[in-house]
A and B are shown apart, each in its own frame.
Chain A
Amino acid sequence: MFSAILVVMVLAQTPMGKPVSAEELRALDITVFPDGKGLPAGKGTAAQGATIYKAKCAECHNEKGEGRDQQYPRLVGGVGSLTTAKPMKTVGSYWPYATTVWDTIYRAMPYETPRTLKPDEVYAVTALLLHWNGVIGENDELNEKTLPKVKMPNRDGFVPDARPHQKLKKSK
């Protein structure tokens, strides 16, 4: 109680932190939500994405998104494998949201030079991966409006944490 009062007093007397302008925030805020909030304007197709992929992604993820050496994840295939002894988790078989594909490519890729792709390029590479996974057509355009509407094959594959699995019991 005393410490709570102390904190309130401290904060009231010493305002800390500095307001951030909308312009500063635009450069920093890259969050993309599943409903598309945060996506920048832009557009691209799988056909356009193929050239970018070849130049900037294939070195690690291989020619057709098949991955390399375990450490460079496979991006394509695996639909229907999740219930088998050897599940293959890829963008197509596992990822629940198309916005996460866009966000991952923009945020973290290419691995050595992240956030250097322009929004149009990210839409194009996203379109390519979704096309390779049979989710959209080769000439379907993805943009900030259409991307969040794409329903990924495993969209309904996630359920809340069900633990503890064990009934709570006292040990003998």
Chain B
Amino acid sequence: MLALGASFMAVSCSKNEPTAAKPQSGLTMRAYGERSPFEKTQRGARESTKSIGVGSSRTPLQDLYGTITPSSLHFERHHAGVPVIDPAAHRLVIHGLVEQAVSFTMEDLRRFPSVTRPHFIECSGNGGGELAGNAGADASRSHGLLSNSEWTGVKLSTVLEAAKVKADAKWVIAEGADACRMARSIPMAKAMEDSLLVYAQNGEALRPEQGYPLRLLLPGWEGNASIKWLHRLHVAAEAAMTNQETAHYTDLHPDGKATIFSFEMEASSVITRPSGGQKLAGAGFHEVSGLAWSGRGKVAKVEVSFDGGANWKEAVLDGPVLPKAAVRFRIPWQWDGQPTLIASRCIDETGYVQPTRDEILAARGPNSQYHYNGVKRWSVKADGSVTSV
């Protein structure tokens, strides 16, 4: 490497060019990298209270490629702000129906055998506006409470086994160290199946907004239950019926009953290109592409319609297709320049077909608010502009 550098230098000198070379880009070396100054895409953020730093932000899906959401663009939802936690002082306490209450340092947790897995996280409020008849103008506003990352951590089952859970344990109540001590009750079966205690995201430590230094990750389940800033696991025989699992995240049906503990995020998809707010340069070839995902396992197939949902064509899936992870789909399109309604639908490995909005309305009415996964249509106008339907 040194030799190579020296030879370049020699070449420069021989041409009498300045040797104190400034890189052509004009950028200086940076210890922690940033994107090109020409790249501007960002999250749409919404402050939800007068307390600064509390609210939600949405991933700009329409501007992204591939399947991994850059950590800086992962959607956020925090109910009482983002705490600053010193990892050296952080402890995870496991107590309740265990042989002995026990606490783990971050170093303890990293000593357990770890796994790295890509999974999506989707807020169960994603698409709530679509259901309510207030469709998002672009993919961020329609589906941006979905992100997909590579997560690294310890299987929760490994740590629970180490803590020696008792036989009558049926639930694990997970609590965060944020100001509101957000807590959710998780069925023991899920805790033992594929849940993770995650300390890294996309190859580096979790971002503060994603729960630094430790979060729970429940693959395929509504994001709210993947408790961030995790500091306590209370193993119990029953659910705690916390605010977040009763007053919120329950789906109200027209008969006045609400479904509770609706954890799985069902198969869904969205075309991100072309999508709302974009403009096609003209008739002719365009690749239609987007994201598909299912909380029940692998995406088996994605179909795209170019006539508003009457006929469907199978798209190609970029591999690998992994369970409870977003997959990129693509399909070529020769646009004739006429107004066109494009749509996608996801079929998962259980055989479940992503429903239409009308089917969801018929099943649970307009006020169920959460867990919406209806087919999303975009309208391509004759001038190439794309709008939400």
Contact = CB atoms under 8 A, between A and B. Distances in A.
A72 B303 CA distance: 42
A41 interface: no
A16 B162 contact: yes
Interface in A134-172: 157-166, 168-172
Contacts, number: 175
A83 B173 CA distance: 31
Contact of B181 (A30, A94, A99): A30
Contacts of B256: 82-83, 157
B42 interface: no
Contacts of A83: 254-256
B228 interface: no
A121 interface: no
B247 A34 contact: no
Interface in A98-132: 99-100, 103-104, 107-108, 111-112, 114-115
Nearest to A166: B355
Interface residues of B, number: 69
Contacts of A85: 366-367
A25 B351 contact: no
Among A31, A100, A104, find the residue whose CB has the most chain B CB atoms closer than 10 A: A31
B158 to A, nearest CB: 6
Contacts of B183: 31, 107
B80 A108 contact: yes
A60 B50 CA distance: 10
A6 interface: yes
Interface string A2-22: 010011001100101111101
Given A29-B232, A159-B260, A166-B359, A97 B241 contact: yes
B303 A171 contact: yes
A114 B101 CA distance: 25
Interface stretch (B8-16, B26-34, B105-113): B105-113
A140 B345 CA distance: 55
Interface in B42-56: 48-49, 51
Interface string A22-55: 1001001111111100000000000000000000
B241 A96 contact: yes
B49 A72 contact: yes
A169 to B, nearest CB: 6
23 contacts: A7-B158, A16-B104, A17-B103, A19-B102, A20-B102, A25-B101, A29-B232, A30-B175, A31-B234, A33-B241, A60-B49, A71-B49, A83-B256, A85-B367, A96-B246, A103-B243, A111-B49, A115-B181, A158-B257, A158-B260, A165-B355, A165-B360, A171-B303
Given A35-B238, A89-B247, 15 more contacts: A11-B161, A16-B108, A19-B100, A25-B95, A29-B95, A33-B236, A72-B49, A83-B255, A83-B256, A87-B252, A103-B242, A158-B257, A164-B352, A170-B347, A171-B312
Interface of A: 3, 6-7, 10-11, 14, 16-20, 22, 25, 28-35, 60, 71-72, 82-83, 85, 87, 89, 91, 94-97, 99-100, 103-104, 107-108, 111-112, 114-115, 157-166, 168-172
